[in-house]
Structure 1
């Protein structure tokens, strides 16, 4: 508990933590509203048969996931940047305990941030759709509550990946480069590869698969929401284990 309190003090005392958290909410909401505005003025009869008003509310996650991933990375890289990681390891010789505490504190902040982002984005977009006479989703509709939970967990898992990437790179800039590649570039480019390789990336790349967690209407070729979130969770666990191994075997 002392280690957890210490890590919480570190994380909350860094201004960048709250800037990243607020930026996640603001970017997720603003970009979701902007993305949903494309259908304003469209007749309900002209909407695609597989149109999903719930998933439309989370289009801003494309950028919000990058910001919350950096929130996780900053929980580690800020100490490497200032050199205080040496002090932390002197006070807490068990590197496993130190990383576990950092991960737990980031997970708590990320869950709260993800929940606020999900709820605010969903409420804003559904109000806009309803005001325009388009079909809107409600929390009581089938599958919607699960999508809200899935969106919250999705963002939290991306933050945990950010923690592990921060441990592996020990650099804020390096973490940003890795997260941009994993969350933006690979999902955009890799599905265009020929044959089964491209098909695999389109369905099972962890970030792409995880995005099914906040859908209600299944997209063509997408995995089931539960499976997608499971794929992302397994990937996050793998990266965290890699980060833990690196922290234990490397010098500071």
Structure 2
């Protein structure tokens, strides 16, 4: 079975020259994908399709399963690399969208509204920031590079779809309701980082307690003030980024 799986993944292991940030590939493909995400979010929000977000979750899940298999069989020589465990900030929308069929009937409730607002603010934040600094999306394999870009196009779509349809909240209290979810996810990320440490270098949410934050700017901050204080500052910055997107989204038109 392992031999068959490896052979299947080898069929799509097309090599490519690893793109660089702000190259023609990044700017053209990234720009086209962002515009497509904006257009589709606006277009589909007009019909209020009930299963759009659930479909996004399913697409993300299937693509993540493929990515994990590709990494295991092709990139890492049938060894699991905990660095790629799917529980980053940009992974959370996949799980939440898959859960929506179970909470959708209670959309008017406060917890459900918090989920949609989290998707609105933090999916958009994750998508925009990853595409603005895309070094983590660039790989020497075409399928992995496409996966990284398309994943974040979908995040932008999810965030804007929630904003255009009015599923995501606009008030300050609506944003405040997302913070327990953010903190809960950060706590789970820390648990994964600690529990997996003997087996690899997991860095979920980029807040591993074992080494400085790997993100641009925050790496230098962590080297200066320490890893744990740097992680706290990073999480506060993520919350601030979500808040800024929340404020900006309050001013975009919603479909009636």
TM range (shorter): 0.3 to 0.5
Task: Normalising by structure 1, report the TM-score.
Answer: 0.34
**Structure with greater helix share of residues:** 1
